[in-house]
């Protein structure tokens, strides 16, 4: 038996607000894809757009209009990153180990470049940006470990998935363009800093909840 035959693909759990609409849209897009477009092309588009989005944030330090270019590349990232796996499943040309590994490594590298760009944009403190990145990586590690032990790959947490996060980021770009500062507790703060603190609090709560939940589940399933 080959290694690919031995590998058991994980059950995908996607329960976000937009999941039903997104699934229909992705299947329709997959049916429209020319035969010469394959999942690797889409993965490359998703990765390149993440890098270009980070670069756009950096350029926004000198010209705020680049925030809208960053939003454009975030949409392109959704197209490439979300459609690659859908296209592979639609055409029944799955490579579970290759797809899982490449997808998550590119996601980790792309998120780093995006967050670095935001941190250098002047719209978010660089220290806050890296703390946000660490929180994201910790939640990702929890997700990958849970996938390994439960064979369940959870894409969404508390009705939020990367798609909803992208939309929030695009909305934040528009808000920051028109209002670079918000008044909070008598101080002028950057909207991205406020958003990052809220996001970190949310990720910390999800991390704590899922860690306790998974620990209890494993303890019950593997009693001595």
Query: Chain centroid to CA 68: how far?
Result: 19
Looking at the domain assignment, is residue 114 inside a domain? yes
Q: What per-residue confidence (pLDDT) applies to 8?
A: 56
Question: Domain of 96?
Answer: 9-221
Looking at the domain assignment, is residue 2 inside a domain? no
CATH of the domain at 180: 1.20.120.1760
Q: What pLDDT digit, counting tens, does each position of 18-45 carry?
A: 888 999 999 999 999 999 999 999 999 9
Q: What per-residue confidence (pLDDT) applies to 5?
A: 46
Query: Chain centroid to CA 132: how far?
Result: 13
Looking at the domain assignment, is residue 1 inside a domain? no
**Segment-wise mean pLDDT, segments of 10 residues, the chain, 224 residues:** 53 82 94 95 96 98 96 97 93 90 94 97 96 96 91 82 93 94 81 95 94 94 87
Give the total number of structural domains in the chain. 1
Identify whether the C-beta of residue 177 lies closer than 8 Å to the C-beta of residue 167: no
Number of other CB atoms surrounding residue 198 within 10 Å: 11
Q: What per-residue confidence (pLDDT) applies to 9?
A: 64
Looking at the domain assignment, is residue 3 inside a domain? no
What global pTM score does this model have?
A: 0.90
């Amino acid at each position: 038996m080959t290694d690919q035959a031995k590998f058991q693909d994980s059950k995908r759990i996607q329960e976000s607000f937009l999941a039903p609409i997104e699934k229909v849209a992705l299947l329709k897009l997959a049916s429209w894809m020319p035969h010469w477009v394959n999942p690797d092309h889409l993965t490359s588009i998703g990765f390149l757009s993440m890098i270009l989005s980070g670069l756009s944030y950096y350029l926004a330090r000198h010209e705020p209009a680049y925030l809208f270019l960053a939003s454009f590349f975030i949409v392109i990232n959704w197209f490439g990153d979300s459609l690659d796996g859908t296209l592979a499943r639609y055409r029944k040309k799955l490579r579970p180990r290759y797809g899982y590994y490449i997808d998550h490594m590119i996601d980790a590298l792309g998120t780093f470049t995006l967050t670095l760009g935001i941190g250098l944009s002047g719209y978010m403190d660089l220290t806050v940006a890296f703390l946000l990145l660490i929180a994201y990586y910790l939640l990702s590690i929890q997700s990958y470990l849970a996938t390994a032990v439960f064979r369940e790959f959870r894409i969404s947490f508390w009705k939020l998935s990367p798609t909803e996060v992208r939309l929030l980021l695009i909305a934040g770009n528009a808000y920051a363009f028109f209002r670079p500062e918000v008044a909070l507790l008598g101080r002028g703060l950057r909207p991205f800093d406020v958003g990052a603190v809220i996001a970190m609090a949310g990720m910390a709560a999800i991390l704590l909840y899922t860690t306790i939940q998974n620990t209890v589940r494993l303890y019950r399933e593997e009693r001595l």
